[in-house]
Amino acid sequence: MDWSDTYEIVDNLCDKYPEINPQKLLFTDLMNMVTSLEGFEGKTEYCNERILEAIQSIWIEEQD
């Protein structure tokens, strides 16, 4: 899994952190959560605000 796998990342985040409200997450916390997912191999230097916004947005949609 890499930064471009946003839907797979969100599926894993939903499973691992069902109690988290993604609307209240800081991007630094979100990045740390993503990089700690099992099977995630992306490098933090390739992460940016646009990617984190996309992940957060999809996660919010999944919770609705």
Tokens of 59: 């996660």
Give me the helix-helix angle, 49-63 and 6-16, nearest 10°: 60
Q: Which residues contact 57 (CB under 8 A, 6 or more apart)?
A: none
Q: Show me where the domains of the chain are located.
A: 6-63
CATH of domain 6-63: 1.10.10.600
% the chain with pLDDT above 90: 97
| Rounded-to-10 torsion of CA 33, 14, 5, 35 | 10
User: Would you say residue 53 has pLDDT above 90?
Assistant: yes
Taking residue 17's Cβ as centre, other Cβ atoms within 10 Å add up to 14
User: Would you say residue 32 has pLDDT above 90?
Assistant: yes
Q: At 63, is the pLDDT very low, low, confident or very high (cuts 50, 70, 90)?
A: confident
Identify the burial level of 57 via C-beta atoms within 10 angstroms of its C-beta, where 0-12 means exposed, 13-18 middle and 19 or more buried: middle
